[in-house]
């Protein structure tokens, strides 16, 4: 069963739904991650972003996907341990050159970034970053005020 890392309730707003990230806990053995990717592909889910943290015994894979509801259902049905949390996904219209400005915006706002990784696909042709910050609403407000587009799940889903 899934446990949430966040107090966010995944409630849609007028802007859309927040982007949900899955943290999947895998044994550190050959083929474990490939089997997850095969399972998602068989469910017609596209992995849009990922980060892998490996240790001797376990691996934690963070995933942003095209269809979080299907992924949650599949993981529960298969008994795959995972957590979910909402993350900010920021569109970088000028590509990697804009990344320091994005991060500086959060630094000036004195908000912590817990993790960051790029998306594999480019929504609307632009680069994008997934950010785990201490307060999504505050981070969203600061980035929007600085002129950054914060994407919603609907912007990423197909």
Instruction: With a cut of 90, say whether residue 13 has pLDDT above it.
Output: no
Q: Give the domain ranges of the chain.
A: 3-8+16-85, 87-153
Fold of 3-8+16-85: VC0802-like (3.30.2130)
The domain made up of 87-153 is a member of CATH 3.30.2130.10: yes
Q: What is the mean pLDDT of the chain?
A: 88
Q: Which are the contacts of 125, defined by CB distance < 8 A and separation ≥ 6?
A: none
44: left (phi over 0), alpha (psi -120 to 50) or beta: left
At residue 158, the pLDDT reads: 63
Chain segment 33-62, per-residue pLDDT in tens? 999 999 999 999 999 999 999 888 888 999
Distance from C-alpha of 1 to C-alpha of 120, rounded to nearest angstrom? 28
Q: Give the pTM.
A: 0.85
Instruction: With a cut of 90, say whether residue 84 has pLDDT above it.
Output: yes
Chain segment 61-75, per-residue pLDDT in tens? 999 999 999 999 999
Contact (Cβ atoms closer than 8 angstroms) between residue 127 and residue 92: yes
Q: In which element (H, E) is residue 92 found?
A: strand 82-92
């Amino acid at each position: 069963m899934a446990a949430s890392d966040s107090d966010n309730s995944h409630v849609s707003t007028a802007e859309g739904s927040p982007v949900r990230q899955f943290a999947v806990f895998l044994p550190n053995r050959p083929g474990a991650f490939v089997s997850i990717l095969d399972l998602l592909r068989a469910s017609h889910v596209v992995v849009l972003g990922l980060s892998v943290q490996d240790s001797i015994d376990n691996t934690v894979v963070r995933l942003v996907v095209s269809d979080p509801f299907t992924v949650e259902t599949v993981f529960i049905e298969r008994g795959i341990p995972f957590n979910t949390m909402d993350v900010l996904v920021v569109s970088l219209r000028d590509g990697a050159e804009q990344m320091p400005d994005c991060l500086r915006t959060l630094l000036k706002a004195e908000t912590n970034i817990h993790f960051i990784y790029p998306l594999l696909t480019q929504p609307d042709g632009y680069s994008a970053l997934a950010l785990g910050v201490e307060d999504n609403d505050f981070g969203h407000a600061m980035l929007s005020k600085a002129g950054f587009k914060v994407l919603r799940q609907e912007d990423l889903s197909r």
